[in-house]
């Protein structure tokens, strides 16, 4: 029996601050559609042809009023108490769903801290990028004459400016041979050091690879930075790992679950104060970051080896199976 799935992720009612779901944000749904036939599933265009509905955001009114089983993929934006009201449609969708799939244990725990668990059913399926799309050949083995790194400059303004503030002149004076490429939304009316480049939003795995690699045998970037505060399980980190890049990250969210022994996390000073005030322009202790960068460089070969032996294909297949097993259970 073929399970027929209706995806209403970009339907009416989507919170306006979430945009309309770009190619990176919707990567997981794209994977499910790409590989659905391997799991005896099929995505259909209309609700009347489906026997289960899934959303990355909210359920449309049509789906909400129907008796069709509902599955909600839940990310981690609800931790920001400052933004609970504007994110309420997403949280309401979780309460409505027959099953909620959290994208990390951190994501699940944050939801529990805010609401308890008045959910019908839930599970955790960690974000993984498709290695067949992102992996260019083999991981870098050593740091070259310069240390090239890529970083996210993504999503909402409070996260974007936090990332940019960490790229201070002090860091570049400490690491004059570094080259940093910032991916995502572009800053406006700001000046930055010449070795900080901005690319803007990328639209495909191929473009992402081309930004990070000169070719399959040489590496423009040797590492990936994720400074976002309390991210649940950012897909861009999964993409960097699938490209063979170790990750340096702010250890205050679910990134550790994704990175494991293929990167280094650094603890920030006074994270609770930052969280309570939700101040986007606060930066971490620069000495902590400086120490973490040098630790990252010194352990680079070890981290690269860990990536080279990690079985990303199996992790990706497990992620797909996690989604489709739940979908088929309710169909």
pLDDT single digits (tens) 132-146 = 888 766 665 666 655
What is the predicted pLDDT for the residue at 130?
92
CATH 3.40.50.2000 in the chain is located at 3-130+314-330, 131-310
What is the predicted pLDDT for the residue at 270?
47
What is the predicted pLDDT for the residue at 149?
65
Closest CA to 106 of 14, 229, 261: 229
What is the predicted pLDDT for the residue at 96?
94
What is the predicted pLDDT for the residue at 6?
96
Tokens 């995505």, residue? 43
Q: Locate the DSSP E strands across 50-208.
A: 52-55, 70-74, 99-102, 122-124, 147-153, 178-184, 196-200
The enclosing H or E element of 215 equals strand 213-215
- Between 3.10.20.740, 1.10.150.20, 3.30.365.10, 3.40.50.2000, what CATH number should domain 3-130+314-330 receive? 3.40.50.2000
- 282-to-77, 168, 193 alpha-carbon distances in Å: 19, 12, 20
What is the predicted pLDDT for the residue at 135?
76
The enclosing H or E element of 162 equals helix 157-166
Q: What is the DSSP letter of 69?
A: -
51 is written with which tokens?
A: 């026997």
What is the predicted pLDDT for the residue at 87?
64
For residue 65, list its beta bridge partners: none
What is the predicted pLDDT for the residue at 253?
83
Q: What is the DSSP letter of 62?
A: H
Query: What is the rounded CA–CA span in Å between residue 243 and residue 136?
Result: 6
Closest CA to 93 of 113, 81, 78, 110: 78
Domain 131-310 has CATH 3.40.50.2000: yes
What is the predicted pLDDT for the residue at 271?
47
Query: What is the rounded CA–CA span in Å between residue 158 and residue 162?
Result: 6
Query: What is the rounded CA–CA span in Å between residue 263 and residue 297?
Result: 11
16 is written with which tokens?
A: 């306006």
Tokens 């897909």, residue? 235
Phi-psi bin for 196: left (phi > 0), alpha (psi -120 to 50), beta?
A: beta
Low-confidence residues of the chain, pLDDT below 50?
19-24, 79, 169-170, 270-282
């Amino acid at each position: 029996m073929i399970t027929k799935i209706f995806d209403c992720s970009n339907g009416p009612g989507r919170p306006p601050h979430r945009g309309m779901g770009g190619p990176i944000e919707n990567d997981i749904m794209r994977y499910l559609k790409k590989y659905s036939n391997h799991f005896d599933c099929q995505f259909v265009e209309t609700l009347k042809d489906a026997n289960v509905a899934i959303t990355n955001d909210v359920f449309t009114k049509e789906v909400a009023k129907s008796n069709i089983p509902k599955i909600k993929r839940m990310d981690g934006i609800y931790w920001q108490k400052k933004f609970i009201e504007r994110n309420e449609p997403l949280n309401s969708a979780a309460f409505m769903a027959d099953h909620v799939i959290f994208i990390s244990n951190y994501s699940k725990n944050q939801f529990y801290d805010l609401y308890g668990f008045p959910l019908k059913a839930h599970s955790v399926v960690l974000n993984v990028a498709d290695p067949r799309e992102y992996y260019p050949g083999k991981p870098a083995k050593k740091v070259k004459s310069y240390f090239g790194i890529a970083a996210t400059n993504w999503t909402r303004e409070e996260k974007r400016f936090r990332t940019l503030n960490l790229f201070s002149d002090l860091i570049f004076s400490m690491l004059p041979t570094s080259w940093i490429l910032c991916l995502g939304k572009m800053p406006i009316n700001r000046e930055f050091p010449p070795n900080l480049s901005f690319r803007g939003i990328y639209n495909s795995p191929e473009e992402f690879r081309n930004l990070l690699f000169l070719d399959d045998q040489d590496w423009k970037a040797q590492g990936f930075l994720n400074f976002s505060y309390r991210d649940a399980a950012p897909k861009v980190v999964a993409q960097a790992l699938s490209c063979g890049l170790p990750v340096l990250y702010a250890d205050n969210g679910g990134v550790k679950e994704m990175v494991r022994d293929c990167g280094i996390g650094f603890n920030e000073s006074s994270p609770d104060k930052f969280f309570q005030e939700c101040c986007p322009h606060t930066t971490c202790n620069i000495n902590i970051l400086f120490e973490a960068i040098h630790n990252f460089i010194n352990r680079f070969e070890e981290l690269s080896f860990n990536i080279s032996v990690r079985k990303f294909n199996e992790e990706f297949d497990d992620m797909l199976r996690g989604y489709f097993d739940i979908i088929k259970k309710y169909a």
